[in-house]
Amino acid sequence: MSTFDNLRSKFEKLGVTGGSRSIDRDKQQPPPVPSSNTKPPQYSNQGYPAQPPPNQGYPPNQGYPQPVYPPPPGDFGPGGFFMPPAPQQQPGYGQGYYGGYPGPQGMSAYPGGQYPPPPPQNQQWQGQPPPYWQGQSVPYPPPGGNGGYPPPQQGPPSQNSTPSQQGPPSQQGAPPLSAPGDGPPPKPRRTSNGPPPTQDTQHQSRGGDARHHAPAGSSLGQSLGSFSSDQVPPGIPLPLDQHDIQPETADGEKKHHRKRRDDRRPDQQMEFLNVKHEELVHQRFLIVYGQVPGLRTSSEDKIVVHHPYFPPLTFPAIDGFFKVLVELENGDNNLRFDYRQGGEIASQGTLCIKMMPYLDKPPLNLAVIVGRDSQGVFDAPPDARGPGISDLDAAVRKFRCCAYLWQAYIAEQLYRNGFGRRTFRLDESYEPDTMAKDNVPRMTARVHVVRSKRTVAEIQDKERAQQWNPPPGYKRKTDESQFSIANEALDDYGAFKDKHYVVCLSVDSRWDPELGVILGHAALGGGVGNRRLGVFGSHTTHAWPGNAEEVAAKFLDTTKTDTRYLANDCNECGEYWRAANIGMGAFLHEAGHLLTLAHTPSGIMSRGFNFYNRTFMARAPDMAGPVRQRDESGSHWHRTDVIRLRHHPCLRLPTDPPLEKGETEESGFEALPTEDGLLLQCAAGITMIEVWVNDHYRCHREYTVENLERRRNGAVPAAPDEMVCAHPRSILVNLGAWKGWAGGWSSTDKLQLVLTSRSTDTDTLEDIGALMNDRSRRDRDGILVFQSNQLGKGQMKDSQRFDALFAGKDMPRSSLPKLRCIELRAGQFVDGFILHMDDGSSFPVGKCQGGHRSEVLIAPDDDLDHVVVRSGWWIDGLEFVTRKGHRSGWKGGSGGSEHILKPPQGYGWMGISGSGAGWLDSISMHYAKLHQ
């Protein structure tokens, strides 16, 4: 058996035989216009057992108290965060509402300058402390390097962005693109979701991400930390640092502060700031913040946590403050914390944490990709090379540790925002545990070692390097990226079936000092059919910890990067601790794209990963004092990211109610202009609406279980339709009211709304002004007729537009004919349909040149009620339904997301428009008020 096979057997224990995955391609129709967007897969919990087989999983955990989500109302939220009093617009935003805000009257809402604007050096904040994400910031773009990450000058997430020319869609993963001259492009698979997203054409240093939707750059507004309370826009609470407050309940008990008396020093009692005694969590590693008030610091302060089953973990401490990563086992974890100064114990504390793994949700899978002839060695300095240091064994250990840090980080961030300790689970197996130096067999994250059929030379081809920019006149031989290479390798590997989530580390990344490019590297994340995928290179892996005991040392390692051997990525990896931040943090950024997140004005989905270490450490090499929560700067999720993660199937909690069928399937949005405003509808329920002005994020509204009661009692101003349920299925946007709430915009500004559903689908309404103004008209009878947003892109080659105008039978004022019969033409897709009227006329929608013929009759006492449509880039399938329940039957395919075309209440049908070529590629409806 080869060395590689031994390693793969050691790390996986799967016994999975890889095989090629067949791809069903359409051989008759020309390929449609591809997209850089694909819908995220909607995951079913079926197939994930409540517990693994005997001796292969965590033992059952019985009798533990279930946590309460959301936490009970009060003045202070999870982790000791300030929660605003009742008359606030969006309670809870104080801790997660990051990014730009409209400035006070007379101030520019979005001044130019750096992204985000750094505060003055050594600034002393007066009065209200600044938001905890403020602090040292990276100019945008950063000085030196090949540009910013994410790339500048890009708008909000959009499905109407310029499509990439990657190739056809595939539900099982798109095949790699062929080089010019290698034959015709592959045919499209029978779905309209579009092909896998690809890297940015700018080829900046980590400047492009394959993502669910396009990146969004934005200049930040005025810092809330510099405003007085009367200057802050309505509904924007000011955050407080958890170390600056001592929250108390009505009976005087400290909330989230677990004090343990030290009889030797009664004035120095250890407090745990973000964890409750006997709290129940569902992840293996947990970040614990605490302090020992009254301690005078020394140069050797440290916190040591002792666990009955794991080796001790030591982290630095300062001024009595500490942060430590604790390891947990299934069941009760009785922890002892020693705050040491030099060789003495200054204070002690104990804490019990209950851990119960949550197995009934889809896991995040880990895979390392190696070339066909690869030795599995990654870049490392000359003094840190060799077996177990820079080989495949080390890559697996470091990647596993990286993923566990992600898991702990996400749980802490969601908890801070009031949504419980939500985080993804890792696919774990029982094997020697490399997260502790003792290597005792435990449940630990499985890392798949996947051998690509590509050679190392192919992987390291400069044309496949994301950061390489071809010189003028250079003719490329391939447009493949590391994303497509990883996707191809996973297809051949064959271990991942159905809908799944995978992050891939490319071990064969190499720094080329002559080219100044990291070969074999790409920072990309997005979706390919049933697969959500993130990829990253191994060029910073030398700086990552290989186990929990190395975390603190790696985040404090100030060794200089020698660019003769190692990459100084983006000119921001000049020291090893910075390389650890960029490597693990930017990889987390790509995992965020995998989880459907877009670029945001601040946080991890911007360049916040430069400060990734600060969430785990009380000390930082670039700070003199303790790293409190407010000092963590960009190391956070933007609140819009938090809301998406709150509802993601990978981050569900055992206490979450089961999802209904309509809440797990892809469900699109309908935007219906009316006389009273813009009606937004989604069958899965709406969780968030973001407001963007001229491609800059302005603000958002969110709809969660946690804020439902506050919407109903007036703490959060909300219209009646926003109080119906936690996730309303329809919301009427009064643009006048929203304009004042969002800081205003002019008639020449481009207003965009970004919509997110409970099934994590996201859509962008590109130009609300045009939607409201251009989609209304007076017909020949003087009736004001509206038109819905268009489903499908309508961008197929030779596509033609069709209009079929008719009046519903409840529109007596209209002289338009009434429907008598609907004739459909459909095969695997919808070729079109013909509407036959009661006056003998007929109107086609689509070319109607193929497919099977069927029809649905409309009786004199019946009428069209609604049309169910599945669409993406084109119309996959549809069904007509009459008021009396007669159905045409489903015609076409099942790809895309589901929409329902039905006039709003009090409105009636006035026609259908669409376009088509080989098949129908767009459709919209016309409607008017019943009584005008």
| b/e map 678-699, b = 16+ CB within 10 Å | bbbbbbbbbbbbbbbbeebbbb
Query: Looking at residue 437, what is its pLDDT?
Result: 86
Query: Looking at residue 903, what is its pLDDT?
Result: 96
Count of helix runs (H) and strand runs (E) in the chain:
13, 38
Question: What average pLDDT score do residues 899-920 get?
Answer: 95
Quote the Cα angle for 757-758-764, to 5°: 15
Q: What is the pLDDT of residues 862-872, one digit of tens each?
A: 999 999 999 98
Evaluate if residue 640 carries a pLDDT over 50: yes
Which of the two residues, 199 and 643, has the higher pLDDT score? 643
Question: What average pLDDT score do residues 656-671 get?
Answer: 79
In this prediction, residue 786 has a pLDDT band, given cuts at 50, 70 and 90, of very high
Q: State the Cα–Cα distance between residues 793 and 159, nearest whole angstrom.
A: 9
Query: Looking at residue 5, what is its pLDDT?
Result: 52
Contact 871, 855 (CB under 8 A): no
Evaluate if residue 530 carries a pLDDT over 80: yes
Query: Looking at residue 761, what is its pLDDT?
Result: 86
Q: State the Cα–Cα distance between residues 631 and 620, nearest whole angstrom.
A: 10
In this prediction, residue 662 has a pLDDT band, given cuts at 50, 70 and 90, of low
- Count of C-beta atoms within a 10 Å radius of residue 104: 15
| b/e map 20-38, b = 16+ CB within 10 Å | ebebeebeebebbbbbbbb
Contact 901, 788 (CB under 8 A): yes
Select from 3.40.50.720, 2.60.40.10, 3.30.465.10, 3.60.20.10 the CATH code of 271-355.
2.60.40.10
Most confident of 117-131, 390-404, 479-493, 653-667: 390-404
Q: Which of 759, 729, 284 is nearest to 499 (CA)?
A: 759
Question: What average pLDDT score do residues 297-303 get?
Answer: 83
CATH number for the domain whose boundaries are 665-773: 2.60.40
Range in 412-421, 603-612, 846-855 the model is least confident about: 846-855
Q: How many residues does the chain have?
A: 932
Query: Looking at residue 470, what is its pLDDT?
Result: 86
Question: What average pLDDT score do residues 498-522 get?
Answer: 94
Query: Looking at residue 207, what is its pLDDT?
Result: 31
- Helix pair angle (639-646, 392-416), 10° resolution: 100
CA dihedral of 114, 116, 122, 125, whole degrees rounded to 10: 130
Query: Looking at residue 918, what is its pLDDT?
Result: 87
Q: What is the pLDDT of residues 829-855, one digit of tens each?
A: 999 999 999 999 999 999 998 889 999
Domain with CATH 2.60.40.10 in the chain: 271-355
Range in 342-356, 528-542, 650-664 the model is least confident about: 650-664
Beta strands in 513-603 (DSSP E): 517-519, 524-528, 531-537
Which of the two residues, 349 and 148, has the higher pLDDT score? 349
Query: Looking at residue 663, what is its pLDDT?
Result: 65
Q: Which helix (H) or strand (E) holds 777?
A: strand 776-778
Contact 565, 543 (CB under 8 A): no
Query: Looking at residue 910, what is its pLDDT?
Result: 97
Q: Kindly report the backbone phi and psi dihedral angles of residue 305, in degrees, each rounded to the nearest multiple of 5, phi listed first.
A: -110, 130
**What does each C-alpha distance from 581 to 65, 172, 420, 562, 578 come to in angstroms?**
36, 33, 25, 17, 5
Question: What average pLDDT score do residues 655-675 get?
Answer: 82
- Count of C-beta atoms within a 10 Å radius of residue 338: 18
Evaluate if residue 293 carries a pLDDT over 60: yes
Which of the two residues, 160 and 702, has the higher pLDDT score? 702
Question: What average pLDDT score do residues 341-350 get?
Answer: 91
Return the half-sphere exposure (C-beta side, CA atoms, 13 A cut-off) of residue 200. Answer: 25
Q: Which fold has domain 779-929?
A: Vitelline Membrane Outer Layer Protein I, subunit A (2.100.10)
In this prediction, residue 267 has a pLDDT band, given cuts at 50, 70 and 90, of low
Separation of CA 163 from chain center: 21
Sort strands 510-512 and 500-506 into parallel, antiparallel or unpaired: unpaired
Residue found by looking up tokens 């006048």 in the block: 736
Which of the two residues, 119 and 744, has the higher pLDDT score? 744
Contact 168, 31 (CB under 8 A): yes
Q: State the Cα–Cα distance between residues 40 and 22, nearest whole angstrom.
A: 22
Sort strands 363-370 and 447-451 into parallel, antiparallel or unpaired: parallel
In order, the DSSP letters of 325-392 are EEE--SEEEEEEEEEEETTEEEEEEEEEEEE----SSPEEEEEEEE-TT--------GGG-STTTSSH
Task: Tell me the pLDDT of the chain averaged across its residues.
Answer: 76
Instruction: For the chain, give the percent of residues with pLDDT over 70.
Output: 71
Query: Looking at residue 2, what is its pLDDT?
Result: 52
Domain with CATH 2.100.10.30 in the chain: 779-929
Which of the two residues, 646 and 438, has the higher pLDDT score? 646
Evaluate if residue 50 carries a pLDDT over 60: no
Evaluate if residue 409 carries a pLDDT over 60: yes
Range in 75-89, 178-192, 344-358, 484-498 the model is least confident about: 75-89
Q: State the Cα–Cα distance between residues 481 and 174, nearest whole angstrom.
A: 13
Torsional sign, CA 409, 413, 416, 420: negative
